[in-house]
Amino acid sequence: MHENYDAIIIGAGVIGAAIAYELSKKGCRTLSIDKLPAAGYGPTSNSCAIIRVHYSTLEGAVFAYEGYFYWKNWREYLGIEDESGMAVFHETGCMVMKTEQNGYLEKNSRGRRSVPHSLRGMEAGGNYRATAHLRHAALRPSQAAGGRRIL
């Protein structure tokens, strides 16, 4: 028996599952293939379930920033109710240390100027210095990728 698919997705972790879900919403027939026995058994199972927007590339930061809003409105995004309970998003904030090993977050700072989120800095003596809330127009991932359409 031969099946026809619009897309074959290698990997059934969080990224592969998200790709399959988004393509299926657009009417595509997908087949997900993973070497492990169930979805989410690979690197996804080792994640700390952290939603962050401090990536060293603009594209990574934009994708993460858009995903933040999906998590924040998870029930509406999925459009369903799970009788066993929905995943819950707890917004807690994040602390990232500037170190020599991470280049004092210089790459992250460049991307941060294009992705709106609140920041606080702490000076060497422990004095907090609040930085302005960035109010730029949010970019769609396709805009961050130089106009190349991603989905």
Q: Encode pLDDT of 10-21 as tens digits.
A: 999 988 999 999
pLDDT top residue among 148 and 136: 148
Per-residue tokens: 80 = 């369903």
How far apart CA 69 and CA 102 sit, in angstroms, is 27
How far apart CA 36 and CA 149 sit, in angstroms, is 31
Q: Is 8 left (phi over 0), alpha (psi -120 to 50) or beta?
A: beta
Confidence (pTM): 0.60
Per-residue pLDDT tens digits for 107-135: 766 655 555 555 555 555 554 443 333 33
| Percentage of the chain lying above the pLDDT 70 cut | 69
**What is the DSSP secondary-structure string of 6-56?**
SEEEE--SHHHHHHHHHHHHTT--EEEE-SSSSTT-SGGGG---------S
